[in-house]
Structure 1
Amino acid sequence: MTMLKIGVSSVFERAKIVAISLLMTLTISCEASNILVSPLIGKGSHFYLSAAIGEQLLTRGHNLTYLVSNAFEDHVRQSRFGEKFHYEIFKHSIPVDEIHEQFNNFSRSLSLPGRGNEMEVSYMILATRRNDCATILGDKMLMSRLRSANFSSLLYDITWACGAIIGEVLNIPYFAVVPYPSPCFHTASEGSGFNPAFVPSMLTSYSHIMSFKERLVNTFSFIMHRNLAIQFSFKPYKELSNQYNLLDPYELIKRTKMWFVNSDFVGEYPCALPPNVIPVGGLTAKDPEQLPSDIESFIQGSGGDGIIICSFGTFLVLDESNMALVKMFVDAFARLPQRVIWLLKTSPPFPIPSSIKIVPWLPQNDILGHPRTKAIFFHGGHNSYYEAIYHGVPAVVMPIFADQFGVSNRIAQFGLGLKLNKEEVTSDLIYEALYEVTSNRTYMQTAIRMSANFRNRPMKPAERAAFWIDHAIKHGTDNFELPVDSLNIFQYYLIDVIAFISVFMIFSIYLLIKCTTVVCTHICRFRNISKNKKID
């Protein structure tokens, strides 16, 4: 009889648990939102940033639809995120082969002098992105599907103004992912405290402690770069905005409800951020997973010397233009006591030492988390920077263009590693920099200290971004937004207040002088009268 009671009780307990679980599932489903994500075109680091946030939004019960191009649809679907999200595909206005060639042209930047073909390719890609935007907005079937999906919000990459335009056309609130360093520089329109006295402009090599000359240059750099960057980045979309009866593209960008900047002040210079700008640096950094057997075996064979990662992403493609550079890398790596895992799409047509393993793809985050990884040699990619910090790995950086120069300055100034100039690089300099970083304990100690600081947070970056998006969907963002849009330039910079105070002070000083003059005049007259009376 007792056993029967226990059995019945157990059944009721299980039924209760199932009912509670079902109720929780229904509750989550009721609160689930459809979120549209526009991660540029679905290529490289920009996609991985938004995908990391998307993964966490899935755990909160939301549905994610990613708007990606037909040029990189296969790339996205074959990634580990392929089965997790829904996808809407737009077609480029030019053949897919030309899109791929544009990205291949970036690869040649490493072997060309100066900034290489950066500006030329940037103009070409910007024009292509603008045409892509026109194609998306003009695709009636695609836009009809997006409207019928009843999206609650949109998450877009700030490098593509089309995201804000799509959000306005769909009449939904939109959030931005900022993939660059210097958060106050990119969110100054939101009221971020960009003070040139201690916040370095994006393309300067200064730290947050500057001399008078540096502060002067930094101020002009900020003014010029922001004005030129705004014109360069958003002007091509002005015609589209007018066509759809929307505000100026820059004004649309300023309507962004929340900004998720891929920065963290453990690896960034401090500045004041408004409540709707959320630092989420290190979105792609996470605990390491098990490595492929061939890579694990190669690492284990390194013994106590360990391994070094060499990863220049898509910026080092083997061809005749950079064969000398590849040989320079090989010569430097062969002299190191460590083994080297090198990301290179194609193996060189000459013998490679057994201490170098060339792979067309590598799980960088997982290798960085291996205890035998001693350093990373890379181009200054922002994601790699925070992955190195997260895992406590020193770095040698050789920037190619854009924000990579800012990242390289931070690495050198924070003591995480050394930077090289691609214009002056030699095999000896590469070897010496890598040897110094792996043999001098100072760099490893700095990396460990920064890692401990970075990890000691209540939430990981992607979790933090997902939390605030979820919070904004449920409660809105009115209590986070500064009223900067409602202020004109005179009000924002208190020019009217300063003018009033100045006039008041001038008038007060004038009255004081006049009163003093009158008093002095009367005193003098009184003294003169007194003297005359004594004489009489």
Structure 2
Amino acid sequence: MILQRLYTLAQLLLCCTTSVVSYKILVAGDAGGGSHYYILERIAKALAQRDHDVTVYVSNMYTKHRHAPPLKFVTYDSLVTMDEWESLLSNITSSYLSGEDFLSQVQSQLKAAPLVFKLMRDQCHSALSDKQLLNQLREENFDIVVGDFYYICASLLGQALDRPYVLIDCPLPSTWQYSINNNPINPSYIPATQTGFDQQMTFVTRLMNSFQICLNYLLTFTFFADYDHLKQIHNIKPEVSTYTTLGQAQIFFMNNDFTLDFPKPLMPNSIPVGGILTRPGKPLNPDLEAFVQGSEDGIIIFSLGGYVSIVEQDMADMFAGAFSRLQQRVVWKQRGKTPKVIPPNVKMMEWIPQNDLLAHPNTRLLVYHCGVNGAYEAIYHGIPVICLPVFYDQPDIAQRIASKGAGLRLDINTVTSEILVEAIQRVLDDHSFRSNMRTLSTIFKDKPNHPADEVALWTEYVVRHGGAGHLRSAAYDLNLFQYLLIDVILFMTICILIVIVTMATCCRCFIVTKRKLCSKKVKAE
């Protein structure tokens, strides 16, 4: 009996013990800063915690992220300076803040896109130009490359090293990313990125949505033309287009979760992993903790993110005027113009621990630009939101939050102190907003793995099986005419026309013959 129990215990221990295999993984860490980088760094840490040998490939434009053991860093010299990026972001912010309608926003996109494309292309050229460094990476013989989908160079790097690669969408997945992944996108109920529409669209909004999808495709092929040229310069399989190169990723990790996003069809190799940066809160520093705890009515967090700057003095003063009328204290992430008079209930900081503040029990509301990472942090901690979207996917995220009753969406171009104060009071007084957000939080957390661990597990899966070709749809091998059945539609149209013409000819012959017979009969009589 004792031996049998020992044998059973040994079997249980054997079942609970997993064989740990260490893989060599290269993470193409974008330029090395901002929200895109933070997502990749979180994934890199999740992989390192699973005993993998992780190397992060980034530019020398940033230096503050180089101390994240056990990660190793390999840096390349950037042709793009921080001043260039900052200037571009400032110009984009100004152009979007000046646009008040849909056509103005489209015009802003068309102006900003070439500048963004140029800097991203130059950044990629930097990453691929150091041949000695690339040879060192080849000698490392990595098992897989993990990169940012939007940072196109990650897929080119994987192709240059002849390694399988997986890609993650760091913003909310866009229309052209869905097309590359071969995920169906129907304009009748799937809103395109940068429209700010929900799934209940009128004829006019469906028309605008279709136009935006076409515009996204147009910008995509303009964007990829530069990278096709880079592939030729650096001799990275120039016969394979950049569009096809992206489509050859083994797995597409989508930075969305249907707790927030609208339901839509996905291919088997498109894995939703929204909320990668979510985590429990950490204690605040003593000074900030004293400010937060000192408010009997709770605190409000105000931030326009790491990219958006308040460029007009009037706007800074407007926000200060609104916050001065509140009973709550406000933690304000300051970027750009500072208000002429800072209210006594406002604490301005160049950087705020947003996640830790959201986790604090005294936090009541988040007022921010509606970036995707902040949206999932707010959902994770159950904090309602007032959205002030500026550009790119922010209007889309704002509409998703508003449609789920978890917050309100305001227009940053037309908002006034009165409108903002009224919106804040409404969200604070109407408990349905907080209740809906807590419901979303419960749903979001009800999953077997954290999103970062989910990425790690699927990355290991790809390495173990030498790829994930069995999850790849046959749609990848079809050209546009075949995929949209244009050739079939043309063939069927021609057949129908032939039948119609044949029937019409037969009817005409019948009528003509009948008339002739009738005419002969009349003459005979």
Q: What does residue 157 of structure 2 align with? A: 166
The equivalent residue for 2:74 is 88
> CA distance change for structure 1 residues 104 and 213 in 2, over 3 Å: closer, same or farther?
closer
Match of 1:70?
60
| Alignment check: 8 A CA contact 1:182 1:268 kept | no
Aligned to 1:396: 386
1:199-253 residue CA offsets vs partner (Å, 9 max, x unmatched) = 011122321122233223322321222222331x222222211224422222211
285, 306, 318: which one pairs with 1:292? 285
2:223 paired with 1:255: no
Structure 2: segments with no counterpart, 5+ residues:
1-9, 100-104, 511-525
Structure 2 CA distance for aligned equivalents of residues 485 and 111 of structure 1: 39
> Does the CA-based 8 Å contact 1:185-1:202 persist in structure 2?
no
TM-score by length of 2: 0.85
Amino acid at match of 2:474: P
Task: Tell me if the contact between 1:71 and 1:100 (Cα under 8 Å) persists in the aligned partners.
Answer: no
Partner of 2:31: 41
Contact 2:303 2:332 in 1 (8 A): yes
Cα distance change, pair 517–180 in 1 and its aligned pair in 2 (3 A) = same
Deviation at 1:331, TM superposition (A): 1.4
Q: 135-144 vs 377-386, which deviates more?
A: 135-144
Q: Over residues 490-525 of structure 1, what are the superposed CA-to-partner deviations in whole Å (9 max), with x where a residue is unaligned?
A: 322233444555566677889999999999xxxxxx
Q: Given the alignment, which residue of 172, 180, 192 partners 1:181?
A: 172
**What amino acid sits opposite 2:281 in the alignment?**
P
Q: Residues 329-354 of structure 1, C-alpha deviation per residue, up to 9 Å, x if partnerless?
A: 21111111111111126894855333
Instruction: State the Cα deviation string for residues 255-294 of structure 1 (Å, max 9, x = none).
Output: 1221111111111111100011111111111122222222
Q: Which residue pairs with 2:299 in the alignment?
A: 307
Identify the residue that residue 123 of structure 2 maps to in structure 1. 132
| Change in CA separation of 1:118 and 1:489 when aligned onto 2, cut-off 3 Å | closer
Aligned-pair Cα RMSD in Å: 3.5
Q: Does 1:154 align with 2:145?
A: yes
C-alpha deviation, 1:69, in angstroms: 1.1
Which residue identity lines up with residue 77 of structure 1 in the other structure? R
TM-score under structure 1 normalisation?
Answer: 0.83
Which piece of structure 1 moves more, 344-353 or 204-213? 344-353
What is the Cα deviation at residue 146 of structure 1? 0.8
Q: Which residue of 2 aligns with 1:483?
A: 474
Tell me if structure 1 keeps the 8 A contact 2:34–2:306.
no
Q: State which structure, 1 or 2, has the greater radius of gyration over its C-alpha atoms.
A: 1
Instruction: Kindly report which structure 2 residues correspond to 1:193-232, keeping only aligned pairs within 5 A, or say none.
Output: 193-231=184-222
How many aligned residue pairs are there?
Answer: 501
1:147 Cα shift?
0.7
Aligned in 2, Cα 1:156/1:492: closer, same or farther, shift over 3 Å?
A: same
User: Are residues 104 and 439 of structure 1, via their aligned partners in 2, closer, same or farther at CA, if it must alter by over 3 Å?
Assistant: farther
User: Could you tell me which amino acid in structure 1 is paired with residue 433 of structure 2?
Assistant: Y
- Partner residue, 2:396: 406
2:86 is equivalent to residue 103 of structure 1? yes
- Following superposition, the deviation at residue 364 of structure 1 comes to 0.8
What percent identity do the matched residue pairs reach?
32
**Is it true that 1:465 corresponds to 2:484 in the alignment?**
no
Relative to 1, partners in 2 of residues 1:181 and 1:345: Cα closer, same or farther, differing over 3 Å? closer
SS class of match (2:65):
helix
Separation in 1 of the partners of 2:210 and 2:188? 8
| CA distance, structure 2, for counterparts of residue 179 and residue 348 of structure 1 | 30
Does the C-alpha gap of structure 1 residues 349 and 222 become closer, same or farther in structure 2, counting only changes over 3 Å? Answer: closer
**Aligned residue identity for 1:261:** M
Matches within 5 A, 1:5-84: 27-29=19-21, 32-73=22-63, 75-78=64-67, 82-84=68-70
